[in-house]
Structure 1
Amino acid sequence: GVQMRLLSAAVLVWQLTGVIAARRHHAHHGRHVVRPGQGPRDQGLTANVDSLEKDLEKSAARTIHQMSHTAELPRELEDIMRAAKDTFLPRWSIGWESFLKAVGTVAFGFAWFGVYFRSVYTSDRSGSLQRWKEDLDSTPLASHQFGGMAPDMIFVFHHPNYEYADGKQEVRFRSIERILVPEVECPFRRLKELMDQAARSGKSLYQRVRRSIRCLATSDEVGSPGGALVTKNCVRKALLKDLHEALPEWGFDLSVFSSIDNDELFVCVTLLHKKAIDYFLSKNNVQLPLNPDIVSRLGIGQDPDDPGCSPPSMPYDTSLVSQLKDQGVLDAADESELYKSWAGTGKETVVSSQECIRIIWNEVLGVLDPVAAVEEGVLVTFYPVHNPAHVAQLQASWASWRRLLDMSFIQPVPLLKEYFGSRIAFVFAWNGHYCKALLSLVVIAVLQEVTLAVCDAFFGVRVLKHEQVVGFSAVLVVWVKIAANLWCREQGFFLELWNLRRHQSMRTMRPQFQGHPAPSSVDANLTERQFPRELAACRRAVTFCATVFFCGVVAAVVGLWMLIFEGKMGIFSSVMLSLQIKVFEAIFSKLVQVMTDYENHQYSDQYHDSLLWKLFLLNFVNNYCPFFCITVRHAWMGTCKDNGNHCIHILNRQLTFTLCILCMCSIAQMLLQTAKVRFSLWWEAYQVKKQTGKPMPPRYHIEEQAKYAVISEQVQVQHMMTIVTALGFVLLFGGLSAMVVPVCFIVIAVQLRAFAVLLVTDAQRTFPEESDGIGNWARCVDFLMAVGVVYSGILLVVFGELFKGAQLLAKMTVLMAFCLSAAIIWWILDLACPGTDPDAALLCKRREYVARMVAKAAGAAKLQEATQESRASVAGDYGEAIREEAWCEIPQLQALRRTRRTPTRTLSVHFS
Structure 2
Amino acid sequence: MEGEENMGNADKEDYESSTHSTPQEHKSFAEMAKDKLDSAGRELRRRLPMAGQLGAHLMHPRRLLLHSTPTQHTDVVLIFPKSLPDSMLLWLLQKLRGSRPRLRVCVRQHATTQCSAFYITADDDVLLQTAEEVHLPKLLKPEFGGGYKEFTVRDMHCFQKGTSAAELLNSQERGALVKHVLEAARAEPGDEHALEPALTLRPGQSIVPACVSRGVVASMFPLHDRQALESLRKKWVKTLFAPQPLDEISEYFGVKIAMYFAWLGHYTQSLTVPAVVGFIFWIWLGTANENWKDIAYVLFSLFNVLWACVYLETWKRYSNVLAYKWGTLDQRDDLLVEPRPLFQGEMGTSLVTGRPEPQYAPWRRRMWRHCVSFPVMVVCLSVAAAATTVFLRAMDWWETRIVYFTWIPRAFLAIIIAIEEELYARIARWLNDKENYRLETKYENHLIVKIALFQFVNSFMSLFYIAFYLQDMDKLKEQLAVLLITRQLIGNLKESALPYLIENLRLAKICVDVFGAISPSKAPTSTQLTELFDKKTDSSGGSPEISLINGGTEKDGDRRDSEPVVGQKVIHQAELESQLFKYEGTFCEYLEMLTQLGHVVLFSSAFPLAAVCALLNNAAEVRADAFKLCHVAQRPFAERVNTIGSWQHAMECMVGVAVLVNCALIGLSGPVHRLLPDATPAQTVLVIVALEHVILVTVLALRMAIPEIPGWLATEMAKVEFQRREAIKNAHAPLMSECTSQDDVRPPSRNTATPTTPKQNDKPERKKINIGKIPEIPPFS
TM-score (normalised: structure 2): 0.70
Which of 574, 581, 589 is the aligned partner of 2:417? 581
Deviates more, 1:477-486 or 1:784-793: 477-486
1:433-482 CA-to-partner distances (Å, cap 9, x unmatched) read 110100122112223323444x48xxxx7885559722211221331122
Structure 1 contact 354–421 (Cα < 8 Å) conserved: yes
C-alpha distance in structure 2 between counterparts of 1:581 and 1:535, whole Å: 34
Which of 290, 301, 313 is the aligned partner of 1:473? 301
C-alpha distance in structure 2 between counterparts of 1:858 and 1:547, whole Å: 60
C-alpha distance in structure 2 between counterparts of 1:350 and 1:711, whole Å: 27
Instruction: Tell me the CA shift for residue 552 of structure 1.
Output: 0.7
Structure 1 contact 157–264 (Cα < 8 Å) conserved: yes
Q: How many residues align?
A: 594
- SS of residue matched to 2:221: strand
Query: Are residue 366 (structure 1) and residue 236 (structure 2) matched?
Result: no
Instruction: Tell me the CA shift for residue 155 of structure 1.
Output: 2.0
Q: Please show how residues 44-193 of structure 1 align to structure 2 within 5 Å.
A: 149-157=72-80, 166=83
C-alpha distance in structure 1 between counterparts of 2:672 and 2:734, whole Å: 81
Q: What is the aligned-residue identity percentage?
A: 20
Query: Are residue 709 (structure 1) and residue 539 (structure 2) matched?
Result: no
C-alpha distance in structure 2 between counterparts of 1:451 and 1:392, whole Å: 47
Partner residue of 1:134? none
Unmatched segments (≥5 aa) in structure 1:
1-141, 159-163, 168-231, 301-310, 322-334, 636-646, 866-912
Q: Please show how residues 453-852 of structure 1 align to structure 2 within 5 Å.
A: 453=286, 455=287, 464-465=292-293, 469-497=297-325, 498-505=327-334, 507-524=337-354, 526-541=355-370, 542-566=372-396, 570-635=406-471, 647-670=472-495, 671-687=497-513, 697-712=569-584, 715-803=585-673, 806-827=679-700, 829-830=702-703, 833-852=706-725
Instruction: Tell me the CA shift for residue 313 of structure 1.
Output: 1.4
1:791-836 CA-to-partner distances (Å, cap 9, x unmatched) read 1111111112441575331221121122122134335544664443
- SS of residue matched to 1:514: coil
C-alpha distance in structure 2 between counterparts of 1:578 and 1:342, whole Å: 57
Change (3 A) 1:711 1:529: same
Structure 1 contact 290–339 (Cα < 8 Å) conserved: yes
C-alpha distance in structure 2 between counterparts of 1:262 and 1:624, whole Å: 45
Partner residue of 1:392? 230
Which of 156, 160, 164 is the aligned partner of 1:339? 160
Instruction: Tell me the CA shift for residue 691 of structure 1.
Output: 7.9
Instruction: Tell me the CA shift for residue 487 of structure 1.
Output: 0.5
Letter in 2 for 1:786: G
Structure 1 contact 236–379 (Cα < 8 Å) conserved: no
Partner residue of 2:98? 246
- SS of residue matched to 2:98: helix
Which of 144, 152, 166 is the aligned partner of 1:348? 166
Instruction: Tell me the CA shift for residue 523 of structure 1.
Output: 4.4
C-alpha distance in structure 2 between counterparts of 1:540 and 1:259, whole Å: 44
Instruction: Tell me the CA shift for residue 622 of structure 1.
Output: 0.5
C-alpha distance in structure 2 between counterparts of 1:755 and 1:824, whole Å: 37
Change (3 A) 1:145 1:860: farther
C-alpha distance in structure 2 between counterparts of 1:280 and 1:579, whole Å: 47
Instruction: Tell me the CA shift for residue 519 of structure 1.
Output: 2.6
Structure 1 contact 467–648 (Cα < 8 Å) conserved: no
Letter in 1 for 2:75: D
C-alpha distance in structure 2 between counterparts of 1:152 and 1:241, whole Å: 19
Change (3 A) 1:503 1:706: farther
Which of 442, 447, 451 is the aligned partner of 2:280? 447
Letter in 1 for 2:498: L
Change (3 A) 1:272 1:682: same
C-alpha distance in structure 1 between counterparts of 2:111 and 2:418, whole Å: 39
Letter in 2 for 1:533: P
Change (3 A) 1:234 1:691: farther
1:257-277 CA-to-partner distances (Å, cap 9, x unmatched) read 44242713433223343x334
C-alpha distance in structure 1 between counterparts of 2:383 and 2:467, whole Å: 20
Partner residue of 1:263? 114
Query: Are residue 379 (structure 1) and residue 234 (structure 2) matched?
Result: no
1:288-309 CA-to-partner distances (Å, cap 9, x unmatched) read 1124xx2xx58x9xxxxxxxxx
Which of 145, 148, 152 is the aligned partner of 1:313? 148
Partner residue of 2:260? 427
Q: What root-mean-square deviation, in Å, do the aligned CA atoms of Structure 1 and Structure 2 show?
A: 3.3
Instruction: Tell me the CA shift for residue 252 of structure 1.
Output: 4.0
Structure 1 contact 271–277 (Cα < 8 Å) conserved: yes
C-alpha distance in structure 1 between counterparts of 2:481 and 2:70, whole Å: 56
Change (3 A) 1:446 1:437: same
Partner residue of 1:288? 138
Structure 1 contact 371–511 (Cα < 8 Å) conserved: yes
Change (3 A) 1:250 1:147: farther
C-alpha distance in structure 1 between counterparts of 2:690 and 2:641, whole Å: 39
Structure 1 contact 708–763 (Cα < 8 Å) conserved: yes
Partner residue of 2:740? none
Structure 2 contact 328–640 (Cα < 8 Å) conserved: no
Structure 2 contact 140–160 (Cα < 8 Å) conserved: yes
Letter in 1 for 2:582: V
Deviates more, 1:443-452 or 1:552-561: 443-452
Change (3 A) 1:478 1:466: closer
1:555-585 CA-to-partner distances (Å, cap 9, x unmatched) read 1112212322237663123112212211211
Deviates more, 1:431-440 or 1:369-378: 369-378
Instruction: Tell me the CA shift for residue 838 of structure 1.
Output: 1.3
1:384-410 CA-to-partner distances (Å, cap 9, x unmatched) read 12222321222122234x42xx2x7x3
Larger Rg: 1
RCO comparison, higher one (Cα < 8 Å, 6+): 2
Letter in 2 for 1:246: G
1:509-559 CA-to-partner distances (Å, cap 9, x unmatched) read 2222221122322245x4321112111112222122212210111111122
C-alpha distance in structure 2 between counterparts of 1:681 and 1:539, whole Å: 45
Change (3 A) 1:144 1:685: closer
Partner residue of 2:87? 234
C-alpha distance in structure 2 between counterparts of 1:849 and 1:756, whole Å: 39
C-alpha distance in structure 1 between counterparts of 2:67 and 2:174, whole Å: 15
C-alpha distance in structure 2 between counterparts of 1:553 and 1:792, whole Å: 27
Unmatched segments (≥5 aa) in structure 2:
1-64, 187-206, 400-405, 524-565, 738-755, 757-781
Structure 2 contact 76–119 (Cα < 8 Å) conserved: yes
Instruction: Tell me the CA shift for residue 859 of structure 1.
Output: 0.3
C-alpha distance in structure 2 between counterparts of 1:418 and 1:623, whole Å: 36
Change (3 A) 1:156 1:430: same
Structure 2 contact 70–573 (Cα < 8 Å) conserved: no
Instruction: Tell me the CA shift for residue 781 of structure 1.
Output: 0.7
Change (3 A) 1:630 1:503: same
- SS of residue matched to 1:537: helix
Structure 1 contact 151–270 (Cα < 8 Å) conserved: yes
Deviates more, 1:489-498 or 1:250-259: 250-259
